Amino acid sequence: MSGNASPPRPAAADLRADCSQCFALCCAAPAFAKSADFAINKPAGQPCPNLKDDFRCGIHDRLRESGFPGCVVFDCSGAGQKVAQVTFGGRDWRSHPETAREMFEVFSVMRQLHELTAYLLECLDLNPNDGETSAALDAIVAVTYGKPAEVLTADVAKYRQRVNELTTRASKKVRRGGGVDMRGKDLMGASLKGADLRGASLRGAYLIGADLRNADLRLADVIGADFRNANLRGANLTTSIFLTQQQLDAASGDGRTKIPERLHLPPHWNVGGGG
Ligand code: SF4
């Protein structure tokens, strides 16, 4: 890490994509496999053919109908603008092609570090005086301000393990041991309409296509749960723990779905519609 001063902890806005400050890293760095989410195969490190020279998407206003719903729900957790403006100081990969490969690799690591940062910030919200969480958070934030080589050599697996320990501890404390334990369960397509899931552990559960209409998920731990195409119409997630915007974006819901204040109802939800 360069310099001695501790870098600032990010605000919530710093952990959300700001495409205006990025060089479309998510449209160039990762590989896509042709699927329900992407209409084409795209190798890693190669710009999407829909990407324009000004780093804007040529089909931005018709992504879903063009077969790219995966782009609609993708959020880099603010890694894009961090890499573009901080790590690489505003030098873009088109004007400086010699930086492209390293920039794309840094983006992949940065995204993981930002995700871990968001979880630790929520841990501190849940348990403000936890010194171990503060130390882990500051260590990860420091790496995100490092030079490219420092980011690339970060031991992400070690950080992930530590974050797992700290989020598990915070979760147990907040849930007070209550709720059903459905960690990692295969609940794909499950009928959970109106279910009382208060305080449940749904860590890493597969809820793809599950019917969660009017379910009560307050204080449920949903870290890493897969909500793709889950039906959250009328569900209560106001105090769900470790819920991310990306999880909401991947699900369906409506104006009756209750979510934490820090998140927003996805634009593609039928807000105001019935369930
Ligand atoms: S379709 Fe648009 S948003 Fe998706 S990767 Fe291509 S340029 Fe980016």
pLDDT, one tens digit for every residue, the chain (275 residues): 444 577 889 988 899 999 999 999 999 999 999 999 999 999 999 999 999 999 999 999 999 999 999 998 888 999 999 999 999 999 999 999 999 999 999 999 999 999 999 999 999 999 998 999 999 999 999 999 999 999 999 999 999 999 999 999 999 999 987 789 999 999 999 999 999 999 999 999 999 999 999 999 999 999 999 999 999 999 999 999 999 998 999 999 999 999 999 899 998 886 754 44
Please work out whether the CB of residue 28 comes within 6 Å of at least one atom of ligand 1: no
For 177, residues 6+ apart whose C-beta sits below 8 A from its C-beta are none
Which residue's entry shows tokens 């390293």?
A: 102
Dist CA 250 CA 158 (whole Å) = 28
Dist CA 12 CA 18 (whole Å) = 12
Q: What is the pLDDT of residue 111?
A: 97
Q: Report the predicted TM-score, pTM, of the whole model to 2 decimal places.
A: 0.91
Burial class of 226 by CB neighbour count within 10 A (0 to 12, 13 to 18, 19+): buried
Domains along the chain with CATH numbers: 12-174 (no CATH), 178-275 (2.160.20.80)
* C-alpha neighbours within 13 Å on the C-beta side of residue 4: 0
Q: What is the pLDDT of residue 220?
A: 97
Dist CA 209 CA 220 (whole Å) = 18
Please work out whether the CB of residue 30 comes within 6 Å of at least one atom of ligand 1: no
For residue 24, report the distance from its CA to the centre of ligand 1, in Å. 8
Please work out whether the CB of residue 106 comes within 6 Å of at least one atom of ligand 1: no
CB 222, CB 245: distance < 8 Å: no
Q: Which of 169, 74, 73, 183 has its CA nearest to residue 119?
A: 169
Dist CA 253 CA 212 (whole Å) = 10
Tokens of 44: 């890693």
Q: What is the pLDDT of residue 275?
A: 41
Q: What is the pLDDT of residue 272?
A: 56
DSSP helix/strand/coil, 53 = coil
Q: Which of 117, 115, 206, 129 has its CA nearest to residue 170?
A: 129
Residue having the nearest C-alpha atom to atom 1 of ligand 1: 50
For residue 34, report the distance from its CA to the centre of ligand 1, in Å. 13
Dist CA 260 CA 170 (whole Å) = 18
* DSSP-assigned beta bridge partners for residue 254: 270
For residue 51, report the distance from its CA to the centre of ligand 1, in Å. 6
Q: Which atom of ligand 1 is nearest to the CA of 32?
A: 5
| CA R_g for the chain | 19
Dist CA 62 CA 59 (whole Å) = 5
Q: What is the pLDDT of residue 143?
A: 98
Please work out whether the CB of residue 19 comes within 6 Å of at least one atom of ligand 1: no
Give the DSSP H/E element, type plus range, for residue 161: helix 156-175
For residue 60, report the distance from its CA to the centre of ligand 1, in Å. 7
> Of the residues 37, 71, 76, which should be mutated to test ligand 1's pocket, given the most ligand atoms within 8 Å of the CB?
71
How far from 246 is each of 109, 117, 123, 184, 251, CA to CA, in Å? 18, 15, 18, 18, 9
